[in-house]
């Protein structure tokens, strides 16, 4: 029987951290793109599309991420797609993140004074033009801090992907525990690794919030 | 080959789903009550406690908020026994939920506590109230009232997060769905139905929180 040193455990976890980061990036960027589309539908004109976008957001915010992962994992294969944990986790986390980001950004769009909409509308701008040239540039400033804050949620969310077999820090932690019988040490290190990934982002979000808020309040 | 959906097979297990849903509600009831209590204590400690306690609570909040619930759960259930603390699945899950919600509500309630105007605290002191009385009667109530919506959302988020407890064999709603799909291989249907039940639970918990809010704070705040 071979012995595992602390460094062996740390190396295994650090190597798997690459996949946590990769999945987080995919979910965050994908979620941003889809979230922007949902945002446009949500704040757009008409009746049906905003309601549809709202339902989409409520569905993803009102159900567990774990269930969304399971449905993506088993649902994709029903559609005849050869499912891998990568595909299912990427899809589920992207859609999940898009719902949350759309809702966060909607709050920021709402925070732009109504007069801005009216002024741009009286300049004969269409909805997309208003968004592109008038509203989004102002909303983006408010959105930066909560968006950075949400990236922490995304990183933490990827831990659940381990349950559908995606190989990342938590999964590696379970595997290493099974080999070393040192759950206390291993899970403490797993937690520490997540902390190292998330804490700087949390601090950054708080810092940005303070800085941008101060500028906002003049 | 076309797949034929069969929700009936899954729905036939309704007693199991119901039992799971009840356990999920039980978990969030324990987690909600104790977690918010812990949050009130944490908010007090962060704002008025002695310096070492302030720092300890700050560290606790940062650690919980920057690590995944699943890892906290695994640490408590798998890790603590080797430190001599043996817990059943249910105890570990409850503890993890209290621990988790406690940190978030500390941060949320503290925001409310900070928003109470200084003058009110001084006025309370002038009436010869003790520090604790001032906190209880002057600070806490308006603070909770102000942040109640945010706290309610957090309770729902923790309830949805409790799905992870199935991973340490707590027989909650997710566990029921796992069990059913392992029996009849109707994975998609089982998770689909469980997801629907979670949605209903989320709406239910939100309503319960709203009602508690109405009971606790009958008067509207004048702004």
What is the model's pLDDT at position A81?
A: 85
Q: Is B55 on the interface with A (CB under 8 A)?
A: no
Q: Which residues from B are below 8 Å from A195, CB to CB?
A: 62-63, 66-67
Whether residue B133 lies inside any domain: the answer is yes
- The share of chain B scoring above pLDDT 70, in percent, equals 98
Q: Is the pLDDT of residue B65 over 60?
A: yes
Q: Is B163 on the interface with A (CB under 8 A)?
A: yes
Whether residue B130 lies inside any domain: the answer is yes
Class of domain A6-216: mainly alpha
Q: Is B79 on the interface with A (CB under 8 A)?
A: yes
User: CA-to-CA distance for B35 and A39, rounded, in angstroms?
Assistant: 33
What is the model's pLDDT at position B87?
A: 94
Helix (H, G, I), strand (E, B) or coil at B135: helix
Q: Which domain holds residue B182?
A: 7-216
Count up the domains in chain B and report the number: 1
Q: How far is CA B81 from CA A82, A209, B122, B201, B208, in A?
A: 40, 40, 48, 32, 36
* CA quadruple B99, B101, B104, B109: dihedral, nearest 10: -110
What is the model's pLDDT at position B218?
A: 83
The pLDDT tens digits of the residues spanning B94-124 come to 999 999 999 999 999 999 999 999 999 999 9
Whether residue B2 lies inside any domain: the answer is no
pTM for the full predicted model: 0.92
What is the model's pLDDT at position B10?
A: 85
The pLDDT tens digits of the residues spanning B41-61 come to 999 999 999 999 999 999 999
Whether residue B140 lies inside any domain: the answer is yes
Candidate from B75, B167, B174 with C-beta closest to A191:
B75
Q: Is B194 on the interface with A (CB under 8 A)?
A: yes
The pLDDT tens digits of the residues spanning B149-188 come to 999 999 999 999 999 999 999 999 999 999 999 998 889 9
Whether residue B31 lies inside any domain: the answer is yes
Contact partners, residue A110, CB within 8 Å, separation at least 6: A43
Whether residue B222 lies inside any domain: the answer is no
Residues of chain A with pLDDT under 50: 218
Q: CB A170 to CB B68 under 8 A?
A: yes
CATH assignment of the domain containing B151? 1.10.3720.10
Q: CB A183 to CB B79 under 8 A?
A: yes
Q: CB A187 to CB B161 under 8 A?
A: no
Contact partners, residue B221, CB within 8 Å, separation at least 6: B142, B145, B146
Provide the sign of the torsion angle of the four alpha carbons B56, B60, B61, B67, taken in this order.
positive
What is the model's pLDDT at position A139?
A: 94
Q: In 3D, which of B163, B161, B158 has the Cα closest to residue B177?
A: B163
Q: Which two tokens stand for residue A39?
A: 């945002």
Q: Which band of pLDDT confidence, cut at 50, 70 and 90, is reported for residue B6?
A: confident
- ipTM tops the 0.95 cut: no
The domain segmentation of chain A, as residue ranges, is: 6-216
**Long-range CB contacts (< 8 A, 24+ apart) of B203-206?**
B203/A62, B204/B25, B205/B25, B205/B28, B205/B155, B205/B156, B205/B159, B206/B152, B206/B153, B206/B156
pLDDT, mean of residues B118-138: 92
What is the model's pLDDT at position B114?
A: 92
What is the model's pLDDT at position A218?
A: 43
The pLDDT tens digits of the residues spanning B9-44 come to 888 899 999 999 999 999 999 999 999 999 999 999
CA distance A75 to chain B (A): 6
Whether residue B157 lies inside any domain: the answer is yes
Q: In 3D, which of A171, A145, A168, A155 has the Cα closest to residue A96?
A: A155
Q: Output the average pLDDT for chain B.
A: 93
């Amino acid at each position: 029987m071979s012995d595992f040193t602390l460094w062996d455990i740390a190396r295994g976890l650090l190597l798997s951290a690459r996949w946590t980061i990769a999945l987080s990036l995919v979910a965050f960027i994908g979620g941003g793109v889809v979230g922007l589309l949902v945002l446009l539908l949500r704040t757009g004109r008409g009746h049906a599309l905003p309601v549809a976008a709202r339902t989409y957001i409520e569905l993803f915010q009102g159900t567990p991420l774990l269930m969304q992962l399971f449905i993506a994992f088993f649902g994709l294969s029903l559609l005849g797609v050869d499912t891998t944990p990568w595909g299912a986790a990427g899809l589920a986390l992207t859609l999940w993140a898009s719902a949350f980001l759309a809702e966060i950004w909607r709050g920021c769009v709402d925070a732009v004074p109504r007069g801005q909409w009216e002024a741009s509308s009286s300049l004969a701008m269409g909805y997309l033009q208003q968004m592109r040239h008038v509203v989004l540039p102002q909303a983006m400033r408010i959105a930066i801090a909560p968006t950075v804050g949400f990236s922490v949620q995304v990183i933490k969310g990827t831990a659940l992907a381990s349950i559908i077999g995606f190989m990342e820090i938590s999964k590696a932690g379970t595997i290493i525990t099974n080999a070393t019988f040192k759950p206390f040490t291993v899970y403490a290190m797993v937690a520490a690794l997540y902390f190292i990934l998330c804490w700087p982002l949390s601090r950054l979000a708080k810092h940005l919030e303070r800085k941008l808020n101060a500028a906002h309040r003049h | 080959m076309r797949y034929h959906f069969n929700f009936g097979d899954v729905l036939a297990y309704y007693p199991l789903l119901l039992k799971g849903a009840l356990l999920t509600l039980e978990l969030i009831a324990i987690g909600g009550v104790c977690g918010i209590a812990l949050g009130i204590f944490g908010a007090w400690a962060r704002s008025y406690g002695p310096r070492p306690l302030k720092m300890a609570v700050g560290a606790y909040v940062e650690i919980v908020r920057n690590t995944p619930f699943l890892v906290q759960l695994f640490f408590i259930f798998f890790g603590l026994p080797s430190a001599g603390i043996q817990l059943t699945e249910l105890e570990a899950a409850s503890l993890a939920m209290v621990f988790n919600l406690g940190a978030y509500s500390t941060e949320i309630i503290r925001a409310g506590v900070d928003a109470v105007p200084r003058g009110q605290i001084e006025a309370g002191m002038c009436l010869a109230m003790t520090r604790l009385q001032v906190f209880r009667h002057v600070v806490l109530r308006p603070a909770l009232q102000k942040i109640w919506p945010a706290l309610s959302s957090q309770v729902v988020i923790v309830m949805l997060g409790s799905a992870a407890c199935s991973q340490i064999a707590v027989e909650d709603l997710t566990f029921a769905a796992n069990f059913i799909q392992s029996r009849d291989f109707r994975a998609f249907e089982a998770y689909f139905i469980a997801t629907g039940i979670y949605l209903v639970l989320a709406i239910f918990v939100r309503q319960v929180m709203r009602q508690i809010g109405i009971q606790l704070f009958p008067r509207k705040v004048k702004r």
